[in-house]
Chain A
Amino acid sequence: MKKKLLAFGLVGVCLMSLLTGCGSENENGKVYYLNFKPEQDAQWQELAEIYTEETGIPVTVMTAASGQYETTLKSEMAKTDAPTLFQVNGPVGLEGWKDYCYDLSGSDIAGQLSSTEFALMDGEKMAGISYVIETYGLIYNKSLLAQAGYSAEDINSFADLKAVAEDITARSDELGFSAFTSAGMDGSSDWRFKTHLANLPIYYEYKADGIGTTDAIKGTYLDNYRAIWDLYINNATCEPTMLSTKTGDDAVAEFVTGKAVFYQNGTWAYADISSLGDENIGMLPIYIGVEGEENQGLCTGTENYWCVNGKASEKDIQATLDFMNWCVTSEVGVNAMCGTTGAMPSGADGMGFVIPFKSNLESSNVLVNQANEYVANGYTSVSWNFPTMPSEEWKNGVGSALTTYAADQTDENWNAVVTAFVDGWASEAAK
């Protein structure tokens, strides 16, 4: 008899272990945010804790590893406790998730937007809301540029940039630095070129054709793309053949140690390079030699849209909407999102965002301020068109072709870039 009991007991334990994990439902709903930005994980965790303390509504924040967002989202969404708040990068990202997006029109948070252009629409439905605006361009080291005998005012077109860069390269032994940081094509850095730099030819083509997205890119400005890429790789700190092994950290290191003047990146990189001192950091537009580019500003846009999971329960959806609204209206939330040094209640650094909501605060990020200056001075910002790139697959194809071309700069290898760009776009867009 005892043995029987023991056996049943053991089976019971086995079953219990299978069933644990099915927690109980909270009466007022709960929030589960799958965060895209690893660099802001700590801040979101802290905000979640504070919100739970204030309201009693449990908020879970999980952050996907860099480059693993889609992977994580796909598996998390299949679970019973799926994320109630997740992110898409724009129209192409939305394509895969539109059935999951709750219609945000008329919600409190939609009312907080400073302009409706920051909403991501799926027909009539407001599928997503951008929560951060970012800017990128050619970050430069002011004192090095002055040492080379130039200032930012001298650079107002691609021809100027080319002349300055090639002059620095010619005198690099004497000056002790190069024009550009290494254009690393390692996975940690290649998005700066296959995605962000590629945005410029796409932007000008869309502009010339008066469109906002396309299934068939023509590649009108690819010669300009080649020109700027040539300039980057042939005036850099390393041989073009070595680019496939260079990482994002290498470029940052070269920039902050004064080995190069120019570093293509965006406002989010401020924390990495702030050790140079605010007075030494500036950002220039990326000129690619298109007519009228003297009025071109920096590249400003977003690829971070908040979406609410429409398949979650009513209570959870409401809780999530309340949480989002709290983030962009409460003092704590706004400070955390916009502030930099010491902005979190715990004294940690804030996220340093520019947010497209009415509550946005003045920023202490020099790169952000530089971006605002360009807008104030009447320069036209370049929009972010890479959310319309057809897939990751397309970006990888362009990236590989760029790497091969860098190592051996022949017309034939450039044609492979053009093929990956134009034909790859068509075949990826057609699926």
Chain B
Amino acid sequence: MEKAIKKYMPIFVFPTLAAFIIGFILPFILGIWLSFCEFTTVTDAKFVGFSNYIKAFQDPDFLHSFWFTALFAIVSLVVINVFAFLLALALTQKMRGTNIFRTIFFMPNLIGGIVLGYIWQLIINGVLAKYNTALALNEWYGFWGLIILVSWQQIGYMMIIYIAGLQAIPGDIIEAAQIDGANPIQRLFKVTLPMMMPSITICVFLSITNGFKLFDQNLSLTAGEPSKLSELMALNIYNTFYGRVGWEGVGQAKAVIFFIIVVGIGMWQLKATRAKEVQQ
């Protein structure tokens, strides 16, 4: 049997491997190569060395978008995970209708980001109109608008992961803690949370990378108004690439920098939360 698997391995691996190389590895390498080039279409590029990277770092809008994105990622991370965890706790209690509530909270996640952005733009502008102002006039309206939007969209998703985590905690551990005299708060912080670390790791990872990569919602809700002040990094890269003749390479260089930042933060976060995971 083992021998047969070895023998036929190339046949079974090849199609997927080919697709992976064509669809992922090659574009990725091409992308890095293009960040050192000046080009209009990706098929004929001229090597220009590091000048794209120098321009990218000299762009004040790019630096602003970095700090704006970092702040956004942190705030959305906290808001989404706290609310998702509380909802998960509430919906794992023994009460009627938990399944219906889970479905309802999960549903916003099924709607596309662009659509959500426009819907929330109408809602938020409708409210702001009462105070004679609008989303496009102040970047902090855009910031909190985005936080509300992504929270509404992603809390349901993270909640499902937390519910799965909560249900996987063996009842005897909680019971043992109860018999030893731990009160509900102590049981939450000393037993449930440590047991939940694997779910927390994945949820924190997802929400922090989503926060950094957020694009459609940003594009449709604020489009970077006013004057690029509410522009997140992904949108800044897109605008650099398509908005200016001759800046394609700079956009590409920004994308590579962006990739390194997201991978770096993601790796560091995984390592930090993994260290807190406990064995059952």
Contacts of B8 in A (CB 8 A): 7
CB distance from A272 to the nearest CB of B (A): 22
Find out whether the CB atom of B246 lies under 8 angstroms from the CB atom of A96.
Answer: yes
Interface residues of A in 15-61 (CB under 8 A from B): 15, 18
18 pairs from A and B in contact (CB 8 Å cutoff): A7-B8, A11-B11, A18-B19, A70-B242, A71-B242, A74-B41, A78-B42, A95-B245, A95-B246, A100-B40, A242-B134, A245-B136, A400-B228, A403-B137, A404-B226, A420-B227, A431-B244, A431-B247
A7 vs B13: C-alpha distance when bound (angstroms):
11
Interface residues of A in 234-259 (CB under 8 A from B): 239, 241-242, 244-245
Interface 9-residue window, one of B102-110, B125-133, B160-168, B173-181: B125-133
A396 vs B242: C-alpha distance when bound (angstroms):
13
**A 112-145 binary contact with B (CB < 8 Å = 1; else 0):** 0000000000000000000000000000000000
**B 188-211 binary contact with A (CB < 8 Å = 1; else 0):** 000000000000000000000000
CB distance from A3 to the nearest CB of B (A): 9
Contacts of B225 in A (CB 8 A): 244, 400, 403
CB distance from B221 to the nearest CB of A (A): 12
**B135 beta carbon closer than 8 Å to chain A:** yes
Find out whether the CB atom of B244 lies under 8 angstroms from the CB atom of A428.
Answer: yes
Find out whether the CB atom of A407 lies under 8 angstroms from the CB atom of B133.
Answer: yes
A404 vs B19: C-alpha distance when bound (angstroms):
48
A78 vs B27: C-alpha distance when bound (angstroms):
13
Q: Count chain B residues whose beta carbon lies closer than 8 angstroms to a beta carbon of A.
A: 33
In the complex, the chain A residue whose C-beta lies closest to that of B61 is A393
Counted as pairs of residues, one from A and one from B, with CB atoms less than 8 Å apart, the total is 95
**A 336-373 binary contact with B (CB < 8 Å = 1; else 0):** 00000000000000000000000000000000000000
Q: Residues on A close to B: CB < 8 A?
A: 7-8, 10-11, 14-15, 18, 70-71, 74-75, 77-78, 92-93, 95-97, 99-100, 185, 187, 239, 241-242, 244-245, 391-393, 396-397, 400-401, 403-404, 407, 416, 420, 428, 431
Find out whether the CB atom of A18 lies under 8 angstroms from the CB atom of B40.
Answer: no
Contacts of A93 in B (CB 8 A): 245
Q: A71-B242, A74-B41, A78-B41 are in contact. Are A241 and B133 (CB under 8 A)?
A: yes
Contacts of B227 in A (CB 8 A): 397, 400-401, 404, 416, 420
A431 vs B55: C-alpha distance when bound (angstroms):
10
In the complex, the chain B residue whose C-beta lies closest to that of A12 is B15
Q: Residues on B close to A: CB < 8 A?
A: 8, 11-12, 14-15, 18-19, 22, 40-43, 125, 129, 132-137, 223, 225-228, 239, 242-248
Since A14-B15, A397-B227 are in contact, a sample of 7 more A-B pairs with Cβ atoms closer than 8 Å, ordered by chain A residue number, is A11-B14, A71-B242, A77-B40, A93-B245, A401-B227, A404-B137, A431-B247
